[in-house]
Structure 1
Amino acid sequence: MRIGELARRTGVSERMLRYYEHEGLLNPKRTDSGYRDYGPEEVDAAHRIRVLSAAGLKIRSIRLLLPCVLGIKPVFHPCAQARAALQHEVEKLDVKLRDLGESRRVVASLLNAINVNEALQLDVR
């Protein structure tokens, strides 16, 4: 199948499919005239890449994990590199969550200060 059909089947844009190929995540065959010719393996791989990407993983991690993921819903089979890569991703997410929590506290305290100030102004009137 051509790239447009793969995009329709997987919900991944043609641009992203080309990028995944450039990054070595997809390896379609080529026709005699040079067109990409995607098969069932690429459909499955594109679905797996989409799931991993939606989880927030970057290309470097996806490249390590892709051979370890089976099917559209992530089911892992034993891969030595999977544990270390996933542990690293969990640690990065923990840092992001901590940072987001602090950002939320700051924004909430500013909102609270505005609310208190408005209430004080109403009491003065």
Structure 2
Amino acid sequence: MRIGELARRAGVSTRALRYYEQQGMIVARRTANGYREYGEADLKLVTEIRSLLSVGFTLEDARPFVACLRAGHESGGSCPESVAVYQRKLTEIDDEIRTLLTRRAEVAAQLTTVCPGCVLRKIGES
């Protein structure tokens, strides 16, 4: 399939695909007239990349997942290198949550200082 079809099927722009190619994440084959040509495996790679990016991974984080798929594994997350990235990302998220909870407590303390009668919302309330 050509770049436009891959972009449509993957739900990304052709510019994103060119960027992924520039970064070595996907590799286009070239036809005699110079058009980029992609296969179903490339669609799977782009889908994996987009899925990871959508939950906060970086393109660099996605490299082991892409390598895992290229090695023939059914899932990009099934290789030890990918599992390590998952574990590192969970640690980062846990650290961010702790930081946010600390910040929330500090803001709540400031509010109760300036507004003793104000009602604090519980986490999760709107």
TM-score (norm 1): 0.73
How many matched pairs? 116
Structure number with greater Rg is 1
1:16 Cα deviation after fit: 1.4
| % same residue | 37
TM-score (norm 2): 0.73
Higher relative contact order (CA 8 A, sep 6+): 1
Is 1:83 matched with 2:113? no
* Structure 1 unaligned regions, length at least 5: 119-125
Question: In the alignment, residue 66 of structure 2 is paired with which amino acid?
Answer: L
With over 3 angstroms needed to count, the CA separation of the structure-2 counterparts of 1:116 and 1:24, relative to structure 1, is same
Deviation per CA, 1:36-78: give whole Å up to 9, x if none.
111111111111111111121112210012233566xx6743x
**Paired residue for 1:20?**
20
3-state SS, counterpart of residue 34 of structure 1: coil
1:84 Cα deviation after fit: 2.1
Structure whose residues are more often helix by fraction: 1
Question: In the alignment, residue 57 of structure 1 is paired with which amino acid?
Answer: F
Name the stretch that deviates more: 59-68 or 106-115.
106-115
Question: Which ranges of 4 or more aligned residues in structure 1 deviate by more than 6 Å?
Answer: none
